[in-house]
Amino acid sequence: MRHLMSPLDFTVDELNELFDLAANIEQTPETYKNICNGKILATCFYEPSTRTRLSFESAMLRMGGQCLGFSDAGSSSASKGESVADTIRTISCFADICAMRHHKEGAPMVAAYNSSIPVINAGDGGHQHPTQTLTDLLTIRSLKGRLSHFTVGLCGDLKFGRTVHSLIHALARYPGVSFVFISPEELRIPDYISESLRLSGIPFEEVIRLDDVIGRLDFLYMTRVQKERFFNEEDYVRLKDFYILDRKKMQNAQEDMLILHPLPRVNEISTEVDDDPRAAYFRQVQYGVYVRMALILTLLEVNPC
């Protein structure tokens, strides 16, 4: 039985197979309509979510399966003091697969150790968010036709943004990828990530000003400042509008530079950019459903043929 804790849990070849399956689902959704009949997905979300939870549920429902779960720790027995280990032992009796989001880093891993069903990390604190990364990679592959030879800009809260951490680990495995990290000093990428890139000889630079680098990027991954992970309100208020991508800034970007964002957006991308053909963030949401359908089939070992 396999779980998904990090995008590195799949080899590059396995990811290719997963993306091929997702592409097939996109082209022929009818074929998959009843493939999960009788299967149940549990969504155990101890932290807020719109896209991740609902796209998992949509994925399962579109394949004929069913869903149960909770979207708020306060409505689960966590509020009575139940451990994640005991909760997943219980959920294992109710469902065939579980997607879990938790504010504590490593909580889905604890669940996986104690589970008799596959567990998917749907975001653990400021650590990892592997299924957003699968979504991001499928979007890039679908819109650019490849996952290699890119200059990738990541902008915003690189310290607490778990989607950023997972995406860097995943993209670092493809040839010819270099990174430009764009953040205020206080929200720089964690040392353990920059150190691992340095050790692997993967080129990266760290800058503060987006304007200085935007013209060199093949895609720009914007992120929200992660308010919920700040220790004080004052710092958040000072940093929240540090970057605002608007039409004027986009004039200096390449004609085919993609703009990605895991969403939700706050102020970091002006709505005037939404009509720009380079804005791919809402298309990303749709790819998130296909890739989660493919992931559920893969972890449940349901053969699409």
| Binder among 6, 87, 132, 183 for ligand NCD (CB under 6 A) | 132
Q: Which of 112, 5, 103, 99 is nearest to 54 (CA)?
A: 99
Q: What end-to-end distance do the CA atoms of the chain give, in Å? A: 20
Least distance CB 13 / ligand NCD (angstroms)? 26
| Binder among 2, 8, 24, 51 for ligand NCD (CB under 6 A) | 51
Instruction: Look at strands 177-182 and 97-102 and give their pairing.
Output: unpaired
- Residue 124: enclosing H or E segment and its boundaries? strand 119-124
Determine, following the binding rule CB under 6 A, whether residue 99 of this chain makes contact with ligand NCD: no
- Is there a catalytic annotation at residue 80? yes
Stretch of 147-155, 168-176, 236-244, 256-264 lying at the interface with ligand NCD (CB under 6 A): 256-264
Determine, following the binding rule CB under 6 A, whether residue 123 of this chain makes contact with ligand NCD: yes
| Binder among 139, 163, 194, 298 for ligand NCD (CB under 6 A) | 163
Q: Which of 300, 297, 290 is nearest to 58 (CA)?
A: 290
Residue of 39, 102, 127, 129 marked catalytic: 129
- Tell me whether residue 35 or residue 294 sits nearer to ligand NCD (CB atom): 294
Least distance CB 52 / ligand NCD (angstroms)? 4
Unique residue bearing structure tokens 């200085």: 212
The radius of gyration of the chain from alpha carbons, rounded to an integer in Å, stands at 19
- Is there a catalytic annotation at residue 165? no
Query: In sequence order, which residues have a C-beta less than 8 Å from that of residue 57 and are 6 or more positions away?
Result: 41, 43, 67
Determine, following the binding rule CB under 6 A, whether residue 120 of this chain makes contact with ligand NCD: no
Least distance CB 120 / ligand NCD (angstroms)? 13
Q: Which residue is nearest to ligand NCD (CB)?
A: 262
- Is there a catalytic annotation at residue 261? no
How far apart CA 193 and CA 180 sit, in angstroms, is 13
The answer to whether the beta carbons of residues 153 and 206 sit under 8 Å apart is: no
**Residues at the interface with ligand NCD (CB under 6 A):** 51-52, 123, 129, 132, 162-163, 224, 262-264
* Active site amino acids: 51-52, 80, 101, 129
